[in-house]
Amino acid sequence: MAHSYEQAAGKLMVALDFPTAEQARGLIESLEGIPCYMKVGMQLFYTGGPDFVRELKSKGYSVFLDLKMHDIPNTVKGGANSITRLGVDMFNVHAAGGLKMMSAALDGVVSALESDSALKRPLLIAVTQLTSTNRDTLNREIGIPGTVEDAVLSYAALTKEAGLDGVVASPLEVHAIKGQCGAGFITVTPGIRPAGVDAGDQSRTLTPREAIAQGTDYIVVGRPITAAVKPREAAEQIIGEMMQA
């Protein structure tokens, strides 16, 4: 299915993995006018903090706060409450925290919404198996038997049972996740590498065009844009590929 420029750009989440807010602002300026999502992860949040998230929101961006919470249910509930109050559009937890932890995250969202009617409900998703994980990591290091896809599908089923909106997985698993959990269950897929770009630490990758053709809702792209000599051109090229999927 062909996408318009706006549809494709709206499915692109740019990972702002920078050490300082100043450096992130440089990239944001170079991408000005592109209606993409912005993802703030641990590296930037631990220096830029909530103020940087508010700055992105004031510029009109949709924001995915990627802090991958994984803790006891009560702590995650509190974290989810604070994140919801910050006004982000999406945030995540680790599905490995289990059913009670994921339900507690949802409770944290609901309690924040009840305390302030002006707040918008953020999408809450769970990380299945990190896109850097391969079968050897899974079986030999982590000690989970079976294929990576089996493990991803099992976490996706748990995430759905907990009532969350979707999962983070690799684009290679999108088809199976949608088949199992339904088309409306959101997939957010990092592990995106345009042809010829170094995979780095990512193990389970597809190109932007392939990922969109698999039916993913959002692709997360960091270094192929942030480390490019001309980031705007790299982003526009990726959006062009997405439009052709």
Ligand X SMILES: O=C(O)c1cc(=O)[nH]c(=O)n1[C@@H]1O[C@H](COP(=O)(O)O)[C@@H](O)[C@H]1O
Residues 52-81, interacting with ligand X (CB under 6 A): 66, 68
> Cα(38)–Cα(15) distance, rounded to whole angstroms?
6
Residue 130 in the binding site for ligand X (CB under 6 A):
yes
CA 39 to CA 234: how far, in whole Å? 17
| Residue 202 touches ligand X, criterion: CB under 6 A | yes
Q: Counting contacts by CB under 6 A, is residue 189 touching ligand X?
A: no
> Does the active-site annotation cover 178?
no
For 225, the token pair is 């844009």
62, 84, 131, 203: which one binds ligand X (CB under 6 A) = 131
**Among residues 17 and 210, whose Cβ is nearest to ligand X?**
17
Q: What CA–CA distances, in Å, run from 175 to 23, 71, 216?
A: 36, 30, 8
Among 63, 127, 167, 181, binds ligand X (CB under 6 A): 127
Instruction: Tell whether residue 187 is a contact of ligand X (CB under 6 A).
Output: no
- Exposure string (b/e) for 10-19, b if CB count within 10 Å is 16 or more? bbbbbbbbbe
* Interface with ligand X, residue 222, by CB under 6 A: yes
Query: 177 labelled as ligand-binding?
Result: no
Ligand-binding site membership of 69 (annotated):
yes
- The answer to whether residue 97 forms part of the interface with ligand X (CB under 6 A) is no
**What does residue 131 show for φ and ψ, rounded to 5 degrees?**
-70, -10
Q: Which stretch binds ligand X (CB under 6 A): 107-115, 125-133, 179-187, 211-219?
A: 125-133
CB of 119 to ligand X, least distance (A): 23
Instruction: Read off the amino acid at residue 38.
Output: M
User: Which residue's CB atom is positioned nearest to ligand X?
Assistant: 222
User: Is 223 labeled as ligand-binding?
Assistant: yes
* 62 in Cβ contact with 37 (< 8 Å): yes
Cite the DSSP H helix spans in the chain.
5-10, 21-30, 42-58, 73-86, 99-115, 135-136, 148-161, 174-181, 208-213, 223-226, 231-243
Footprint on this chain of ligand X (rule: CB under 6 A):
15, 17, 41, 66, 68, 92, 127, 130-131, 168, 190, 192, 202, 220-224
Q: Would you please indicate which residues are annotated as catalytic (active-site) residues?
A: 68
